[in-house]
Structure 1
């Protein structure tokens, strides 16, 4: 399924439930893995069936976890061949965390799941979050399909850059898929201030100049799914950049360039509309920030390296 319909207003409860479950899963790498620059080790990858962790080392074995949006289950594997799983049925976050901790323990991975979510206004600890949760497996599948479609274009966009670039990966705190390019120059200290996120994490993430693009299903100032682009530091004049396609615009509240998912999906070629947004927003921000020349190259052809 490519570019499924999303309806944030009608489906928000399911989106928030999926986000809450991914918050619990996302904390695992912060307890098992060395810190990688900008928190990349803790991000999740969008894969054909759902959202997957990087390898989680714990004791004598290594582990991998998948939230399987296709079948509606959490699946865990260990390097010694053991497997565990449990279904997604709209359980409370407290029950989900308990099931996950039990599954990990069954595989021999004793990884603590204490704490609570990040980058949300109300950070209820996982163990005590007994609030009712909405769930519909079909909605979860469609949302995953949207993330998967965006990720495919983000991966192609990433191939056209010679400088340091993040993978296309999902940050579970803010629940957005992002791909970020770096100029190689340091940036002014970030002021921080994100809810329930230590400022030291934010400042390390923004230690160097970035131009970033992302996709999230709604919330945080815009009540529909959208792709966005911004720069840090944000240059004067970014709101006047000639961003494409024509439906893209500057969002004053967010301080970012935005293309709604609905407008992208309605385009004759959604892939081309998204790529136009990514390339034009990057080009405009890079020019305003006077980024070094020669960082962009033709996007990588399939099966062979590009001509550089």
Structure 2
């Protein structure tokens, strides 16, 4: 059974860095993001790890875990949003107290996605894959990103509908932020391996950054089979995945490993986000990868969806039941907050 936190008006946001912190020369970005959120009516609790970064992590794993555990148990903190992702969040998983976690949203993506997936698989509590805090520092939010508040305010038993973005960002321009941070210059086109322009998929959502979540296969933090049996009554799963840095052959190896580990058993479909990676190897393209996966699993594959490191992003809720539709290169995702 899936439990859903709920974002309330005037919520207190806990900011901690379970992966990478913010180096000193970028501290102004986090101050601005916190200020923007306060101007929108939120309270902010910013913890120590946010302000430090050394040797590819904000702090030693035991410190990061202790800070996250504290925020998850703190009754006055309603939602946790890390500043951004990073590289080594996986180090803290065996130091987290999953049994003591209070129902509250954790929102993020990239390296944070392995934390989100582990929490949902271990506890049955829904988690939110979407924007990070740094990208909320703009004067406003684009319409796709802005849906994070609506999605996280959805009540148990209700549903929420999101649409594919009109435009997406091809390249980051960190020194030239727009009013909503991103530079949305390219038309968004959702694609599919199917021969029809219409695709419909239904199932429970799970996913994240494939570079990261593949590393919990075979561990207590990646037990998809037990989750599927005990938490969602063997309902089908729709996977959403995004590739940050993998070549096509490494992506293929990762997907085969997932398949061999049973992650794609009872799968209703797979969605892949736009990616700055997917380097072709010896003529082997990412479209080849998608096509082979669709044929092997006999499920539809959608790609270039709004997910990952080429924003904006739809807010996907791990554990929610979703109805995903593609029609003539435009997509919609309706998520049902049902147990």
What TM-score, normalized to structure 1? 0.27
What TM-score, normalized to structure 2? 0.25
Higher relative contact order (CA 8 A, sep 6+): 2
Larger radius of gyration: 1
